[in-house]
Structure 1
């Protein structure tokens, strides 16, 4: 490995991070590539770092897409300044996505009772802009990111109810719509926090709209799906019971036909169209 030791450790820390969201991980990955380029690393080293980043968090589409975009550009012979600008542009677009998505989603949420789960920058921005009547939030085990969402919304004066995951799924009938973020959007479906799929099933049963909020950095074209996978996580985060196999996954896949629409920085699209609009 030709990577400087300090940057190698940064990538290892990204790989080990189970708390940060997709945007936070993307920023750190982009910083590694930018630092490499600013140090004058050759294109081969940049390609190597990009490839390692793609594998660091295989359930996080933005890292996969960043690594693929910059690695391919380096392979095609782009100069250092062009690679720097392409990396910065990718990051700028991802950082602006929550604001643009919030602007598009806010009218859907005004004076509505909304249900969500986990933690999504785009969802929080949209709920803050949309002035909902109330937000029901699932705690989102095993790491309980939904607690952070509830705290962020309550700090802005939004009425929030927080509950355990199984309870909140049964509350879908009480709300006007469900809105969630995404860690990846693929032709197979939307990858998001485990529990999203049963929420979508329940929303369909109860006749409630189910919206996904996602930027272009979350959309994986078919040629990148082979890099994506959902990994098992430490069983101790759930329980340790002698003689019992404990299954722990952070993500599930929600089929596109259960989704009303995907809200993007470019507007609101039917799920299949969003794959090609971004």
Structure 2
């Protein structure tokens, strides 16, 4: 399960960073089923697999935090192998509950900002933003959404399709470069986040120009996500460079194809960040 999870994370088959963190933490339960002679042997294998899962996508802060918490709460805590196994499983359950609870609370808090008849623009795919929209509609709001495709992987198309299944939401799908045309029609930009580190928002590539354009035309920007994605120390963001084939299927001689997964947006361009712990204003 661990090897399959590593490959899934590398290939971005799981898009939500919260889901990535949960899958990675749960995969460590496989270690409790292996035979170990000593606790030290178990802990070495745990540390090795935690490192491998982190390396699968070093850009995900929530992945890093979840795995590090499991490792810290198990390593050096017991001399009994059975107790180490039990401690690992209970820690995994606690970490998973924390990630999922944080995500749901953030969505609940964000749902309150959607007023009936509001129009918003979003980029990429955020499961937390999606849940916030669903909760707002359940509470009686009718919404209009402008959704960018989020090229080159087109995750925005998935977001728009799911919005189309929600009664009370009128979705509009557009290419990324058209956001400047539709921003003046919007009450706000609402996006998820990969993480915020050192006063910088890291999110799907295309976020920075969208946020900069929103600032230029006076549209407020709201970022939604679990507080676990706000990182003070211990984590260094590493951008992921995706395959050139996502941009151009057949290589062309003499052209270097750039395909970064994320870009960096200064937080002073953001109006507020809504998390499970409340609202942070900038």
TM-score (norm 1): 0.88
Query: Where does residue 261 of structure 1 map in the other structure?
Result: 272
Query: Where does residue 3 of structure 1 map in the other structure?
Result: none
Query: Where does residue 30 of structure 1 map in the other structure?
Result: 25
Counterpart CA distance in 2 for 1:181 and 1:33 is 27
Q: 1:123: Cα distance to partner? A: 0.4
- Contact between 2:227 and 2:277, CA under 8 Å: does it hold in 1? no
Q: How does 1:32-181 map to 2 (within 5 A)?
A: 32-39=27-34, 42-77=42-77, 79-111=84-116, 112-130=118-136, 131-157=141-167, 158-181=169-192
Q: 1:254: Cα distance to partner? A: 1.1
Does residue 193 of the first structure (1) align with residue 200 of the second (2)?
Answer: no
Does residue 243 of the first structure (1) align with residue 254 of the second (2)?
Answer: yes
Counterpart CA distance in 2 for 1:25 and 1:37 is 20
Gaps of 5+ in 1: 1-5, 272-278
Query: Where does residue 235 of structure 2 map in the other structure?
Result: 224
Q: What is the CA RMSD across the aligned residues, in angstroms?
A: 1.9
Gaps of 5+ in 2: 37-41, 79-83
Q: How many residues align?
A: 264
TM-score (norm 2): 0.87
Q: 1:181/1:127 Cα in 2 relative to 1: closer, same or farther (>3 Å)?
A: same
Q: 1:179: Cα distance to partner? A: 0.5
- Contact between 1:19 and 1:143, CA under 8 Å: does it hold in 2? no
Counterpart CA distance in 2 for 1:109 and 1:238 is 35
- Contact between 1:37 and 1:46, CA under 8 Å: does it hold in 2? no
Q: 1:36: Cα distance to partner? A: 1.4
Counterpart CA distance in 1 for 2:266 and 2:232 is 16
Counterpart CA distance in 2 for 1:251 and 1:88 is 30
Q: 1:141/1:45 Cα in 2 relative to 1: closer, same or farther (>3 Å)?
A: same
